[in-house]
Structure 1
Amino acid sequence: MDEVSVSPQPLPPPPAPDIPPQVTPPKRNILPYVVLGLILVTLVGLGAVLWIRKSAQPPATSQLAQVVSPTPAPLPLFLELTSPKSDELAVGEEIIVSGRTLPNITVLIYTDTDQTSLESDANGQFESTVSLDEGSNTLTVTAFADNGDEFSESIDVVYDPQSQ
């Protein structure tokens, strides 16, 4: 037999693995997206800071809510003696002095030998007893207001022990 000589043929290369072809995406400009994101983050942060600052402040007081009552004008100081009357003849060594002035102020009643200090009541009434000397006595009543004003009235009262 004839030998046939066959020359060895090179083996075909092994099949290449399936590698997908590389696809390059189209080029996009991402700069506008980055700028938009930065603006959004800034606005959200600024809103948060303003909200926190507003909630930390105490509520403002309204000027209309504060009502100030007007202070009444002070009454002018006055003094009215109701007892005794000027030139009255006293029947005893002591006499009751009474009168009216502003409420709750100091009243001083004095003669040459006696002195009494008291305060008028809530209606301005006052009353006190003073001692008299024999003969004519000058009785002086002085009212002193809180602002420093004073008002005085003097009368003469006669004490005669023989007239009893």
Structure 2
Amino acid sequence: MNPAPAAARKERPSTISALASAAALLAACALPACSAAPSNEDPTTRTVEGHWEKNAGSKEAAAAMKVEVPSGATGVKGAVRVNPQEDYYLLSFITAQKTAEEIAHDLNPDEALSRTAKGGSSNKLFGHLGLPAPESLNEVRWAGVCPPCRKDPIRKSKQWIDIYVAPLPNQQARIYLMAF
């Protein structure tokens, strides 16, 4: 009798068992990150996991979106939400209505700004900036753009940008931008 094959047979189940356990553990850890939200979930109340990046504000958000904040803009606010899958960049400011529309146009949205479409949900992220969710505003106009789909060489690292323009008195507007 050869003792080596018996020893190998004894080791094989424990090796297979260890590999199976490791594979099950990896699958269990990866599953929550890739699983979709339940279909009955209201996207306006969904929370985004992650944390707000300390010391990241309007400059960092504008740089990530490759958007220039106009020199006369007021009420400039921005933040970066770091998440496991993708980060969210928020930028908002008040400028002339015409300038806000030009910025929206320069982002090359799939369709023009519209009051009928309110876009996706900003997940109430703008509340972090002390602003209401733009889609909750009555007169807001929205457009969205997928920079890679539009072959935008400037913003190709962003998967989507929501653009909201909310009119204000005196030919002013607050523009809200959210990118991920």
Q: Which has the higher helix share?
A: 2
Q: Which has the higher strand share?
A: 1
Query: Structure 1 length as normaliser, TM-score?
Result: 0.29
The structure whose Rg is larger is 1
Query: Structure 2 length as normaliser, TM-score?
Result: 0.27
